Amino acid sequence: MRCPFCKVDKDKVVDSRSSGEGAVVRRRRECLNCGRRFTTYERVEETPLRVVKKDGSRVPFDREKILVGIRKACEKRPVSAEQIEHAVARIEDQINKNYDREVPSTDIGEMVMEALKRLDTVAYVRFASVYREFKDPEDFVAAIRAAK
């Protein structure tokens, strides 16, 4: 680490401790050239996850969009807010485990459909009808059969 006072790149760590609930490491350093002390903070560099949409555009991942979509599908259905929150958390965990920087929106849609299939058949069909752009009644029948 370069000393902020004399600009020499020779120092030793005098003290090191976690702060910010373990997300940040605070280090007290002493310059071996000028003897002055300074503090540095070290944190994991997080690259924000991006969603690749059907048209090829990229937008930042937004957990809230998944939550809103599932809530709409489950509206007036016997699905608790807690069940919805758990489903969203599982989807988010799955995304974080399987994707590093970019996730296709189609993969997110499929994960949401799988979660809804387990939660409520009607909510699943509602979401599928919008997501898969149903055109006629046969599409609904196929979705209902797939949910069972």
- Cβ contact 87:119 at 8 Å: yes
Q: Is 43 helix (H, G, I), strand (E, B) or coil?
A: strand
- Tell me which of 131 and 72 has the higher pLDDT: 72
Stretch (H or E) spanning 67:
helix 63-73
**Beta strands per DSSP E along the chain:** 11-19, 24-31, 37-43, 50-52, 58-60, 102-104
- Tell me which of 46 and 69 has the higher pLDDT: 69
Confidence (pLDDT) at 20: 65
pTM of the model: 0.67
Domain regions of the chain by residue span: 11-43, 50-147
pLDDT at 21 over 80: no
- Tell me which of 21 and 10 has the higher pLDDT: 10
Residues 65-123 have pLDDT tens digits of 999 999 999 999 999 999 999 999 999 999 999 998 999 999 999 999 999 999 999 99
- Tokens for 130, please give them: 């919008």
Strand pairing class (50-52; 58-60): antiparallel
| DSSP annotation string for 79-117 | --HHHHHHHHHHHHHHHHHH-SSEEEHHHHHHHHHHHHH
pLDDT at 138 over 90: no
- Cβ contact 57:65 at 8 Å: no
Strand pairing class (50-52; 102-104): parallel
C-alpha radius of gyration, the chain, whole number = 24
